[in-house]
Amino acid sequence: MNTKYSINDLELIANDIRENIIRMLEHAGSGHSAGPLGLADIFTALYFDILKHDPKNPDWNDRDILLLSNGHCVPVRYAAMAKAGYFPEKELMTLRKFGSRLQGHPERQRLPGLENTSGPLGCGLSQAAGMALAMRMDKITHRWIYVVMGDGEQDEGNVWEATMLCNKYKLSNIIAITDRNNIQIDGNTESVMPLENLKNKWESFGWHVIEVNGNDIEAFIDACAMARAITEKPIMIIAHTIPGKGVDFMEYDYTWHGKPPNHEQEIKALKELRTLAGKIRSEAHD
Ligand SMILES: Cc1ncc(C[n+]2csc(CCOP(=O)(O)OP(=O)(O)O)c2C)c(N)n1
Ligand SMILES: [Mg+2]
């Protein structure tokens, strides 16, 4: 664990990231709210504690790899990257603009620090598998490949092709993370296409599965440490998150999957997030 930040510091960073997600999406006038807000704690934990990386040297040879398979959730990645120092925070306001490095779905070659291009769902695990096999050929054993996937994304058949391949080659340097937020584009996952029992599914494909509350930063950091201790299987962390987390009128509501807040909703959301920040600060002094 990186001891630079306390859990309380990390919770405040996650809250700032949520504020920036709201601002960016309102400014863009389009984009996805629920998934990115729900993933803010996980991306904070990754960029500020878990990942071995260097924002000033994004191509550092020894860095860990973070792949985003559910590319529509990229606002949370941009907000975390800006906060970590990959680029100035003011650039966040170029989200989804013509010519911007911050496209609505991530384009690897536009922005140093992105490791994959995504948007078409179901590709991230195959990308991870390719990288893991390449690392094996190069005898590289000190780098981890983290891949964040959606739950609705797992309706894509090629996810399961990659799942089998990772099992066949025992790609144990892959740590996959499912954002189990129970929503997808036009409904709750269990009504669009039932996924349960998701843990059993991954286990029956030969994976080691860990379940965790993905909105609990400390628990998530611990889950990743447990995952890194598994050496004989690829690892899936099923992270239970609340879609829209932190913004009351967005929480648990799939209609916020692909919709930005308008100006009035932005003000309301930011007010709520500032109140939450105050609570986190006061907890630090209890
Ligand atoms: C191959 C493919 N099919 C369909 C889509 C359209 N699509 C975008 S997001 C999404 C729902 C994905 O669900 P989930 O991964 O759970 O995202 P969440 O709503 O939780 O953000 C769909 C079907 C797509 N991007 N790619
Ligand atoms: Mg989902």
- What ligand has the least distance to the C-alpha of 31? 1
95 — alpha (psi -120 to 50), left (phi > 0) or beta? beta
- Residue 244 in any domain: the answer is yes
What is the per-residue pLDDT across 9-30, written as a single tens digit (0 to 9) for each?
Answer: 999 999 999 999 999 999 999 9
pTM higher than 0.95 for the full model?
yes
201/222 Cα distance (integer angstroms)? 23
Count CA atoms closer than 13 A to 229's CA, side-chain side: 7
Pairing of strands 208-213, 174-180: unpaired
The minimum-distance atom of ligand 1 relative to the CA of 154 is 15
- Residue 84 in any domain: the answer is yes
Q: Residue 216: which CATH number?
A: 3.40.50.970
210 — alpha (psi -120 to 50), left (phi > 0) or beta? beta
| Ligand 1 center–CA 121 separation, angstroms | 6
Q: Given pLDDT bands bounded at 50, 70 and 90, which one contains residue 285?
A: confident
Indicate the number of domains in the chain: 1
Domain with 29 in it: 7-284
CB atoms within 10 A of CB 257: 21
- Residue 2 in any domain: the answer is no
Ligand 1 pocket test: pick from 72, 151, 160 the residue with the most ligand atoms within 8 Å of its Cβ.
72
Closest CA to 173 of 97, 233, 111: 233
Burial (0-12, 13-18, 19+ Cβ within 10 Å), 144: buried
- Residue 27 in any domain: the answer is yes
What is the per-residue pLDDT across 38-90, written as a single tens digit (0 to 9) for each?
Answer: 999 999 999 999 999 999 999 999 999 999 999 999 999 999 999 999 999 99
The minimum-distance atom of ligand 1 relative to the CA of 181 is 20
